[in-house]
Structure formats: C-alpha cells, structure tokens
Amino acid sequence: MPEQRARTYHRGRVASTFTEEITAMLEGELSDPRIAPCHVTEVILAPGGKSCRVLIAVTGSEKEESSTLEGLMAARAYIRSEIRARMGVRHVPELTFAIDRSEKINTRMDELFGRIEKRKEKMERRSTGKASADAGAAEAIETKDLSN
C-alpha cells in the first residue's frame, strides 16, 4: 500500500525543523567541550516517527569526530527536551547521531579525479611530443633522400 503524500510531506517538514533546531543548538547552546565545530547535514526520520537519525559533519580529525559523537550522545536527552519545548509537540522521536563523512569522501574523490586528469594531460603531451619528434625525423630523412 503506497504511503500518503500528506504523511510524507509532514515527515519532511518535521525533519527540516529538526535540522534547524539542532543546528541552532550546536552553534551556541551546547557547552560541552567534547563537541567540535560541526553542522547537521541530514535528518532521516523513520516512517513511524519513533526514531530519527541525525547526520553530523565535523570539521576536524577522527579524534574530534569521535569525541563530538560522544558529547552529542550524552546531550541527546537535553536536545530532545528542547525540541519538545520549542516545537510544542507531545512526542519527539528518539535521536541517534552519526558522523557524515560524505563531504570528506567527495573532496577526496575530486582530488583523485584531478590527479587522473593531470596524468592524462601529461601522457597526451608526451605522446604529441614523440609524434612531432618522429614527424620531424621523417621529414629530415625525406629531405635527405630528395637532396641525393
């Protein structure tokens, strides 16, 4: 049975509100020293609305990512109660935080593609250089043959 459009739309609105509210909390309200500078990249709300996965992108090292994740998991109940108060709803889904490494992966892939392009250009320059050198040698031989 297909899901109703209104329910999907509502879930999307709730997810975007969670994104805004959690981002506001990350920017200044949470004072845990374990939490490094980070931002919410995506909020995935379960179809039943009982659970929610929040993907966080951390600017820093692997160690900072793990400490940020620990700090957010410790502050989960506070974040949930603040969302309940701000949104004025009765039920707030159970929050789970996860590190989103897609930006780092995309940056790494762009770097590798750039290297591949540079290698292709270098190989093309070498092949055209050899071709022009071979053509120059062939012309020299032909002019030598013609002069004889």
Its pTM stands at 0.69
Range of lowest pLDDT (19-28, 86-95, 130-139):
130-139
pLDDT at residue 136, as a whole number: 59
Residue length, the chain? Answer: 148
Listed by start position, the domains of the chain span 5-100, 106-148
Is the confidence at residue 101, as pLDDT, over 60?
Answer: yes
Which of the four pLDDT bands, split at 50, 70 and 90, describes residue 137? low
pLDDT at residue 96, as a whole number: 92
Q: Residue 11 to residues 31, 40, 48, 97, 113: CA-CA distances in angstroms?
A: 29, 17, 9, 18, 37
Q: What's the mean pLDDT in 9-14?
A: 86
Q: Which CATH number fits domain 5-100: 3.30.70.890, 3.30.300.20, 3.40.50.280, 3.90.1150.10?
A: 3.30.300.20
What gap in Å lies between CA 138 and CA 37, rounded to an integer? Answer: 64
Q: Are 82 and 95 in contact (CB under 8 A)?
A: no
